[in-house]
Chains A and B, each alone.
Chain A
Amino acid sequence: MNTPAVQLIDLHKTFSTRGGKVRAVDGVDLVIETGEIVAFLGPNGAGKTTALDMVLGFTTPTSGQCLVYGSEPRKAVRDGRVSAVLQTGSLLDDLSVRETVAMVASQHGVHLPVDEALERAGATNFAHRKVSKCSGGEQQRLRFALALLPEPDLLILDEPTAGMDVNARRDFWAAMHAEAERGRTIVFATHYLEEAEQFADRIVVITDGRILADGTTEEVRALGGFRTVSVRWNDDDGDPTAALADIPGAETVQVHGGRTVFTGPDTDAIARHLLTRTSANDLLIVQVPLEEAFIGLTHKTTDQASTEQQSVEGAQQS
């Protein structure tokens, strides 16, 4: 009955470059319902921004369909139903924060009062500062205030916390939580797994213009590969590759210098087994930086998986 906030149907976007064609978005099917908080997770150049650009009507799909509240993206934008916090750039240095909001507000039909938008975005204390004198985090809050002006039902955030320090990042997400509680649908792109985990209900992993995984935070984390357990292996326990089969929750093993590294969906189980059943010591559970995890995932799809470089089996989308 309810129209979904976003519907992507076999979406393709191809750019022609000197080196041939680049398939930035290569067959994406996705439905985002009203009220969902969705993270688009993927490394740089995965096609996240291109996909979001189509949702905002900045570019048109090469083929396939992109609907926002059942209509053309551009119409949804004009109706003030969708707005966005865009990646860097995009502000006029010589305006003050408040002037920027007032200037953009003048182009919306119905909009929040300027001061309220500033307040909600946490930009009130520096409202009279010139944009050029604002820190990265402050500029991002200004962009957030601009996005709130039309009181959009759908809020798109493209790498919203890039260039923010830890505190600014925390404040930003706190403000975003408040907006989510108002019932807005929120879609954000990020390459921090941590950020996706903490804030989203649902994570869509994108690499090479395709959806690699789509599920709840737990489901995506369970794909494994995002954490590893490394130990100093004792040769008395035999060959670690042979031992792999006995370790619950472990899928792959690699030897890096003096350390033996296990990966799998359940790192706790791996750790428990290693500490209690083997004489391995100096155990470390490491959150693999997402970029690295993606390299694993991507290699898998591009058929470069050697037995050593095995990565996440379950990551293949069913």
Chain B
Amino acid sequence: MNTQTIPGNSAPSSSPARPNALVGILKYAAFDFRRQLRMFESLFFIIVLPAALFIMFGSITSYGDFPAGHGTVSGSIATSMAVYGAVTATTSIAGSAAVERSQGWGRLLALTPMAQWQYVVAKVVVALAIAVLPVVVVFVVASMTGAELGSLGIWLSAGALSVLCSTMFALYGLFFGLMFRSEAAVGAAGGLLVVLGFFGNLFTPLSGTMLEIAKFTPLYGIHGLATWPQMEGELMSSMGEALDPDTLGMLVTSVVVWTVIFGLMALLAARRGTRRA
């Protein structure tokens, strides 16, 4: 039997000519980004809810103008809401990507030259692009209602940190998507973010035992890092007592440890998925 692979050997039509990997990723990401923008129901919660929460807790309050770090309390709450919006976005995009693949879209893409890693990169690009939206909306609303972070550089770095750190929640979303393979589970994962957000010090300043517990939860580190440019680890207190500031090392450690935990969970879920399939 003759099995050599001389190019152009046998059978009619079609020359290889594979597309450039990067171009492929960008094209796919562009299609998918447009697609996500059209899904109004899920986008509404991702983009509008954080801004609405900001208006409720951050701008129409008596303490909003109090100084905090380099800016105001209201500014710090804006960053918190930006973080909340960004992690909701990455959770949702990554989670539905996993569901999408498990339902057979992955098999379809496997019939194209697109490699798995290209799909993952494309989805990360989309997730980050979507995560930018709530951050921008919250910050625009915040700046219009007089919130202060200190300087333009702090606004930009707080925004960038919110988006970048939110990538670890892509793993969190991936875990739920791979584990339960349904959009409902991904929705539930998004709902659970409210609880994690509460413990992450996003919605209301914690103190005492609650604060001690909170320091071990996944959103705490992200929140600390995103507000770092403004607060530099200082904690706000609703009761007026003095709280020990967080150190940069502790916040980074929290983000790293939780990224590893979510990564392992996603990996286990992925293994379970392929075994069943």
Do A and B assemble together?
yes
- By secondary structure, the B interface counts as loop
Distance of A91 from chain B, by nearest CB (Å)? 7
Distance of A221 from chain B, by nearest CB (Å)? 30
Distance of B227 from chain A, by nearest CB (Å)? 36
- Asked if A153 meets B110 with Cβ closer than 8 Å, knowing A3-B2, A108-B19, A109-B18, the reply is no
Determine whether B62 belongs to the interface, using a CB cutoff of 8 Å to chain A.
no
Total A residues in contact with B, Cβ cutoff 8 Å: 48
Q: How far is the CA of A272 from the CA of B15 in the complex (A)?
A: 56
Q: How far is the CA of A70 from the CA of B2 in the complex (A)?
A: 8
Contact size range, B: 35 or more
Q: How far is the CA of A6 from the CA of B212 in the complex (A)?
A: 64
Contact of A107 among B15, B28, B107 (CB under 8 A): B28
Query: Interface code A76-118, partner B: CB below 8 Å = 1, 0 otherwise?
Result: 0111110110101111101100010011101111100000000
B110 touches A77 (CB 8 A): yes
Determine whether B112 belongs to the interface, using a CB cutoff of 8 Å to chain A.
yes
- Asked if A67 meets B113 with Cβ closer than 8 Å, knowing A152-B14, A153-B12, the reply is no
B13 touches A103 (CB 8 A): no
Residues in B with CB closer than 8 Å to A154 are: 11
Determine whether B151 belongs to the interface, using a CB cutoff of 8 Å to chain A.
no
Number of A-B residue pairs, CB cutoff 8 Å, is 122
Distance of B257 from chain A, by nearest CB (Å)? 34
Distance of B262 from chain A, by nearest CB (Å)? 26
B28 touches A106 (CB 8 A): yes
Determine whether A263 belongs to the interface, using a CB cutoff of 8 Å to chain B.
no
Within 8 A of A (CB), among B95-153: 100, 103-105, 107-114
A109 touches B16 (CB 8 A): yes
A80 touches B113 (CB 8 A): yes
Residues in A with CB closer than 8 Å to B3 are: 3, 7, 67, 70
Residues in B with CB closer than 8 Å to A57 are: 110
- Asked if A107 meets B114 with Cβ closer than 8 Å, knowing A7-B1, A69-B10, A94-B35, the reply is yes
- By secondary structure, the A interface counts as loop
A69 touches B108 (CB 8 A): no
Query: Interface code A48-72, partner B: CB below 8 Å = 1, 0 otherwise?
Result: 0000000011100000000101110
A107 touches B19 (CB 8 A): yes
Determine whether A213 belongs to the interface, using a CB cutoff of 8 Å to chain B.
no
Residues in B with CB closer than 8 Å to A109 are: 16-19, 113
Residues in B with CB closer than 8 Å to A183 are: 12-13
B105 touches A110 (CB 8 A): no
Distance of B271 from chain A, by nearest CB (Å)? 13
Stretch at the interface among A38-46, A143-151, A167-175, A223-231: A143-151
Query: Interface code B1-37, partner A: CB below 8 Å = 1, 0 otherwise?
Result: 1111100011111111111000010011001100100
- Asked if A34 meets B10 with Cβ closer than 8 Å, knowing A78-B113, A109-B17, A109-B18, the reply is yes
Residues in B with CB closer than 8 Å to A166 are: none
Contact of A80 among B4, B16, B107 (CB under 8 A): B16
Contact of B16 among A2, A79, A91, A143 (CB under 8 A): A79
B13 touches A107 (CB 8 A): no
- Asked if A58 meets B110 with Cβ closer than 8 Å, knowing A90-B104, A106-B28, A109-B16, the reply is yes
B112 touches A108 (CB 8 A): yes
Q: How far is the CA of A209 from the CA of B194 in the complex (A)?
A: 50
B103 touches A103 (CB 8 A): no
Determine whether A242 belongs to the interface, using a CB cutoff of 8 Å to chain B.
no
A3 touches B10 (CB 8 A): yes
Contact of B17 among A2, A7, A110 (CB under 8 A): A110
A91 touches B108 (CB 8 A): yes
A104 touches B112 (CB 8 A): yes
Residues in A with CB closer than 8 Å to B113 are: 77-78, 80, 107-109
Interface centre among B35, B100, B111 (most CB of A within 10 A): B111
Residues in A with CB closer than 8 Å to B38 are: 94
A56 touches B111 (CB 8 A): yes
Contact of A89 among B5, B15, B18, B103 (CB under 8 A): B103
A103 touches B9 (CB 8 A): no
Closest to B274 in A: A59
Closest to B122 in A: A107
- Asked if A153 meets B104 with Cβ closer than 8 Å, knowing A58-B110, A77-B110, A108-B19, the reply is no
Q: How far is the CA of A316 from the CA of B3 in the complex (A)?
A: 30
Query: Interface code A133-165, partner B: CB below 8 Å = 1, 0 otherwise?
Result: 000000000010011001111100000000000
Determine whether B39 belongs to the interface, using a CB cutoff of 8 Å to chain A.
yes
22 examples of A-B residue contacts, CB within 8 angstroms: A2-B2, A2-B10, A3-B5, A5-B11, A34-B10, A56-B111, A57-B110, A77-B112, A86-B111, A90-B103, A91-B105, A91-B108, A103-B31, A107-B19, A107-B112, A108-B19, A108-B113, A109-B17, A109-B19, A109-B113, A110-B15, A153-B12
Measured CB to CB, the residues of B under 8 A from A are 1-5, 9-19, 24, 27-28, 31-32, 35, 38-39, 100, 103-105, 107-114
A-B pairs with lowest CB-CB distance, top 7: A89-B104, A90-B104, A107-B112, A106-B27, A153-B11, A70-B3, A79-B16
